[in-house]
A and B are shown apart, each in its own frame.
Chain A
Amino acid sequence: MGDAENADWNEREFPEGAQELSDDFSRRDFLKLMGASAGLAGAGMLGVGCRRPEEHIVPFGSEQVAGQDYVHGVPMQFATAMPTRTGATPLLAVSNEGRPTKVEGNAKVAGRSATDSFAQASVLNLYDPDRARVYTKNDKAMPGGKASAIDQLKKISGKTAFLMPASTSPSRAALIGKIQEKMGENAAFYVHEAADFGVHARGAQAAFGEAVTPYWKLDQAEVILSLDCDFIGTEEGSARFAADFAKGRKVAKQNDGMNRLYSVEALLTQTGANADHRLRARATAIPAAAAFIAKALGKAISVPANALSEAQEKWLAGAAEDLKAHAGKSLVVAGYRQPESVHQLAHIINDALGNNGKTVTFHKTPANEFGSLADLASDLGKFDQVVNLGCNPVYDGGTDVDGKAITEKTTFRLTDYAEDESHSVKGVNAPRAHYLESWSDARTDDGTIVPVQPLIAPLFGAMTELEVLAVFAAGENTSPRTGHEVVQSTFTGDSWERYLHDGFLKDSGYEEATELTIANADVTVPPAQAEGLEAVFTLDYSVGDGSYANNGWCQEVPDPITKITWDNVLSVSRQTAQAAGLENGQLAKVKVGEDEVEGAVWVQPGQAEGTVGLTLGYGRAGKLRIANFKYEGQAEDIPVGGYNAYAVRGSSAVNVAQNVSVESTGKAYPLSSTQEHWSMEGRPIVREATLKEFRKDADFVDHMGLGAHARNEGPIYQHPYKERPRLASDMHQWGMSIDLSACTGCNACVIACQSENNIPIVGKDQVAKGREMHWLRIDRYYTGRDHDPRASAGFIKDEGQNGDDEQHTEEWIDDPQVVNQPMACQHCENAPCESVCPVNATVHDEEGLNVMVYNRCVGTRYCSNNCAWKVRRFNFFDYNKRPINDLYGSTAMLKPSILTDWITSREKSNRPEDEWDLVKLAKNPDVSVRMRGVMEKCTYCVQRIESTKIIKKAAAGMSDDVQVVDSDGLKTACQQVCAAEAISFGNLLEDGSEVNREKANPRNYETIDFLDNRTRTTYLAKLRNPNEQMPDAYKKPFSTKEYKAASGGHGDDAHGDHEEGSH
């Protein structure tokens, strides 16, 4: 719709005039009428009153309004892109009746339909109730809205500083060029991002003397060494890296090759969690480690003395040998947290190995010509005013930037939120448009130009940065161009329509720089801090730099490493915690120089000694109801929303700060973790082997667990198809396979599932009670080299005696191996949940789905109790209709008005008005929104299955071509978003379907197979590829060792052989 009249129609329940009493109407008439209608209402209980209220169908007046291709009820997809700091994520955004509800990766551009978790969560930002809704000046709403804001912009004259977030938009660059031309000295531009990824370009510039940016090709590398580079997690463009890395991990046949990842890092990152060999090193020792490798490869680099221990040197020497053995097929990558010198060393090493041009190529990228926020802070006196195009300097500017001074000089600010840290009281605050409301463009990491096109008119009349800049670029008497005009004028291709349709401009990538030579082999390696604590600042896996802090999906998604929701923590290693007297879950004060901040301590397995990990993005101020979420009954002295790490982050030490002290305050702090127990306790839930073992014994998974025994006993539960054979469909039987070797544990699937399936968030206190609603979770287990589950047996003993509370004091956690396992409903064929439901609310369907019937469910929760995987989620409260800080309600619920409200308007919710409208817009119309008291769980995205079947059937007409096959493009939400392509889903009855191919892999196994539930979701065992020459080599993965120890050698190879022979 869109125009005001239509909106009016939508809001009205009755046609105009039906609600108003316009006639002369006496009191007597009124009472008569009321009496009569009351009588009718009573009679109505047995008659017509039982009919539903009258509802209207409102077609368009004219078809032009809707657009030619619009078919009501058929979702449309539009190509657009989400701009990121250094690139853009090309997307296909799904629009349901004009509401964008979901985004998918644009496979035409990136070659995959995957995105990272932030792109998935970005949809919710569009419907954030705290978004700025009105244009304000002097904190008063501007009646003219956007038009008067533009008038204000036109009045700006004098020296103006523009503060902008990073962007790759060619249109923005063109506008800036025009403004510079027009305003000359009067305009200056500054770019600010809390995390600076420019170091990749600066490092390459330092090494080669040319303005180039490295472009890693991890799929070409057989051996990868990461120098504090979290390319799977916090690096920009991680989806592509994860995809390329995973390509080298999917082993199907015994002679398949597999890549090997070495990781040197201080914090346990996702990349370290996926490494075959991992070295814990302090962040300041990593330059020395890079220098050591360069030296081992024969380069004349001096290694700082005493930076590395003997054991570390041995490890690095081993890694260097392996790199040398794979010259030209290896890759050394340096992370954004490391200084320029480490990047320079990485290029020198890659050059020495002959990797440049093979596993890493270089793009000629435009050099950054803009100042930083720190530059602006020092230049501030020169300017008459600041125009802020979306930065939040008071929050993330760091300790030595006076963000307040910048804010005071700000006369115009584009802002996401009505009231946040950098809210400018005097100036104009203009709502900033979400990318799904904006016209813009951007370049992906390889330089391909992609359009950003709006799917919806700005919900609150918001403006884009291009529109603001266009005002400055416009001539005196010309009116500024719209975002659409700006983008179209920058477009250089042949067909604008094709550009928008495909979502990219062909052959517009950056030019590749070839024949680069090391111009500067002389690297000054900064010395390491030998003693004392150092602080490492890192972007948060869930909320990034804080721009996703008010996004409920991001807050509630468990951190992939700590599994903590709604908070950030001060991570320390076990020994550092003991030395500093820190307790898990207690508040501690971190002092960096003069500044201090108080956060909760988390003893993190696998973290380097002498390192405190501080996570950015939390501790926000302002009116942000999610970021500052306070649960019902939260004590006053418990801080909300985590701590603000920017408060101790200076511009001289943005990534690593030295001379840090940590002191416990002794106060306990409640943390909500979704997985409190760290160990698998020797059970073969995740099965692992080394590549060597796999080559020797491809069927190693069958020699673990008790599956072989159980099969002969027969299932405990009766197979539904045996009871009712007619039930089984001969056309479709669905199944899923998840490759644990490929899965990196990145959380994108969890958020994609949440977005697709209307899954609510529940709040920090409810997560602590285990009531989170995620249909798909990722289990993360730590396994230890010398961890014998029988010796510590954490969860079996009482708390306090090596129970969950004490696990962080155990030695085996120092150098753990990490395994991830996505866990959702397994769709058992002999499902234990089905046999205990007293009301048949969970049953099998023809196609092998274990379905949940919400209308039948009475909430006994027997099914959840009988589920071995604990994947069923119960709606303890009305999470959709109540605000999450008011779930319990109060005696107000007993008021009669509740009943009358319900009768008059059943749509009513307890949510504030401003939330309720937006909450409804964000929902997927193809999935029921569940109410209080019902159970729910993964459905294999049944709405996608059914819609694919329907499309196929509708196209088939009278023919029998109705079997859904892989080429019909059916994908579950988790499968579609998975960059690593770890998830396969499809029809088990289709010969050669992807899922059948995956299930034929010898690594295929069922979890908890001894129950013989015949799960439709199976897993491919994880493979590790250790190097036998390394000092920390291992013959078996630690989990396999734990399994053997716990099962008393039951499952060892000899037994396996015996088993095969005897049964």
Chain B
Amino acid sequence: MSNIFPKWTNRLPLILLVGGLVAGACVVAGVTYYFTPKYTRVGYEPIQPVAFSHEVHSGQMGIDCRYCHNDVDKSWFSNIPSAETCMKCHTQVLADDPRLAPIRESFEKNKPLPWVQIHKTPDYVYFNHAVHVNRGVSCVSCHGKVNEMDVVKHSKSLSMAFCLDCHRNPHENVRPQDEVFNLNWEPPAEWDSEREGKGLVDQMKIRSAESCSSCHR
């Protein structure tokens, strides 16, 4: 009565150990990759009720961000324009275009358009647009080059680490106030963030807070 267990079972503990480690590593790697905002959010590109192109309006025609998002420097919330804003031009331009039918209907019947929200912070995060865009932080820092997007997509993770990266090194992201809404602005050749960026931080007394209370209340 011997050999109940075949010989390969001698290696079973090792197989289990190694297998377990590999499986565990896969799970950890899977979670860290797939469950982070970098995966779940970046690239999100929903279909909007009207195929509005930022590339055309902002990129090619050079309309300022604030023509439509006119509350961005006043409120925590960067507003989505009402249909009335669209109609300021589109009563003249493409006035009868079928693609704009929902806009015209919204304007005439005061029926809101359900734009799909792309960028969103959780309820317990109190992000404020006004304080950033009035203090040398450009739209492009969080939203990417929207002026080159035909369909807007989520381009930065907007995770807490993303926020803190900038709050810890504000000098790398501030720019002259005139250039905040210029999404194509590139630092001039002589710009050194250690010198110019820190100069701006000093000049504006930027104390980008890193503690919990700055964003969570």
Contact = CB atoms under 8 A, between A and B. Distances in A.
B213 A62 contact: no
Given A54-B116, A61-B106, A72-B79, A960 B207 contact: no
B213 A60 contact: no
Q: Is the interface of B mostly helix, strand, loop or mixed?
A: loop
Interface string B127-148: 0101100111000000000000
A66 B81 CA distance: 12
Contacts of A46: 30, 34
A946 B110 contact: no
A61 B107 contact: yes
A55 B113 contact: no
A623 B109 CA distance: 41
Given A57-B115, A72-B75, A849 B213 contact: yes
B114 interface: yes
Nearest to A729: B207
Interface string A1-35: 00101100100000100000000000000000000
A921 interface: no
B40 A72 contact: no
Nearest to A952: B131
Contacts of B185: none
Contact of A855 (B41, B124, B134): B124
A62 B110 contact: yes
A956 B203 CA distance: 11
23 contacts: A6-B112, A9-B111, A15-B49, A50-B40, A57-B116, A58-B114, A59-B81, A61-B110, A62-B110, A71-B79, A72-B79, A729-B207, A851-B212, A853-B212, A854-B216, A926-B217, A928-B123, A946-B126, A955-B134, A957-B177, A958-B136, A958-B200, A960-B204
Contacts of B131: 950, 953-954
B39 to A, nearest CB: 8
A962 B217 CA distance: 21
Given A9-B112, A59-B115, A62-B82, A957 B107 contact: no
Contact of B112 (A61, A927, A954, A956): A61
Contacts of B216: 853-855, 928
Interface in B18-62: 30, 34-35, 40-41, 44, 46, 49
A769 interface: no
Contact of B110 (A54, A65, A73, A943): A65
A673 B114 CA distance: 51
A61 B82 contact: yes
A851 B211 contact: yes
B66 interface: no
B83 A15 contact: no
A1063 interface: no
* Chain B CB within 10 Å, residue with most, of A57, A71, A939: A57
B82 A60 contact: yes
Given A55-B117, A731-B205, A60 B34 contact: no
B75 A74 contact: yes
Interface of A: 3, 5-6, 9, 15, 46-47, 50-52, 54-66, 71-74, 727, 729-731, 843-847, 849, 851, 853-855, 926-928, 939, 942-943, 946, 950, 953-960, 962-963
A58 B126 contact: no
B124 A928 contact: yes
Contacts of B116: 54-57
A992 B194 CA distance: 36
Contact of B107 (A52, A62, A943, A946): A62
Given A59-B80, A939-B217, A954 B135 contact: yes
B194 to A, nearest CB: 18
A205 B176 CA distance: 72
Nearest to B130: A954
B99 to A, nearest CB: 17
A959 B204 contact: yes
B71 interface: yes
B75 A73 contact: yes
Contacts of A844: 211
B23 to A, nearest CB: 15
Interface string B179-217: 000000000000000000000100111010111111011
B120 A843 contact: no
B212 A71 contact: no
Contacts of A9: 111-112, 114
Nearest to B74: A71
Contacts of A55: 116-117, 120
Contacts of A959: 204
B114 A56 contact: yes
B212 A954 contact: no
A727 B214 CA distance: 13
B77 interface: yes
Nearest to B200: A958
A59 B50 CA distance: 14
B150 interface: no
Contacts of B120: 52, 55
B73 interface: yes
Nearest to A845: B211
A729 B214 CA distance: 13
Given A727-B211, A950-B128, A953-B134, A958 B217 contact: no
Contacts of B203: 958, 960
A59 B82 contact: yes
A843 B212 contact: yes
A57 B48 CA distance: 11
Contact of A946 (B74, B115, B136, B214): B214
A5 B114 CA distance: 13
B130 to A, nearest CB: 5
B213 A962 contact: no
Contacts of B130: 950, 954
User: Lowest 8 CB-CB distances: which A-B pairs, in order?
Assistant: A845-B211, A73-B77, A73-B75, A61-B110, A960-B205, A56-B114, A954-B134, A58-B112
A60 B77 contact: no
Contacts of A946: 126, 213-214, 217
Nearest to A55: B117
Nearest to A844: B211
Contacts of A51: 40-41, 44
Contacts of B64: none
Contacts of B217: 926-928, 939, 942-943, 946
B76 interface: yes
A946 B207 CA distance: 13
Given A73-B71, A74-B75, A731-B205, A854 B30 contact: no
Given A54-B116, A59-B79, A845-B214, 12 more contacts: A9-B112, A59-B80, A61-B84, A61-B112, A61-B113, A62-B83, A72-B79, A843-B211, A845-B211, A846-B207, A851-B211, A928-B216
B44 A962 contact: no
Contacts of B77: 72-73
Contacts of B71: 71-74
A1006 B44 CA distance: 54
A933 to B, nearest CB: 15
Contact of A957 (B79, B106, B109, B134): B134
A63 B84 contact: yes
A498 B39 CA distance: 55
Given A62-B82, A63-B84, A962-B205, A854 B112 contact: no
Nearest to A843: B212
A942 B213 CA distance: 7
A952 to B, nearest CB: 9
Nearest to A730: B207
B157 to A, nearest CB: 13
B26 to A, nearest CB: 11
Contacts of A61: 82-84, 106-107, 109-113
Contact of A50 (B34, B112, B211): B34
Contacts of A58: 112-115
B75 A56 contact: no
A963 B177 CA distance: 19
A1042 to B, nearest CB: 39
Contacts of A845: 209, 211-214
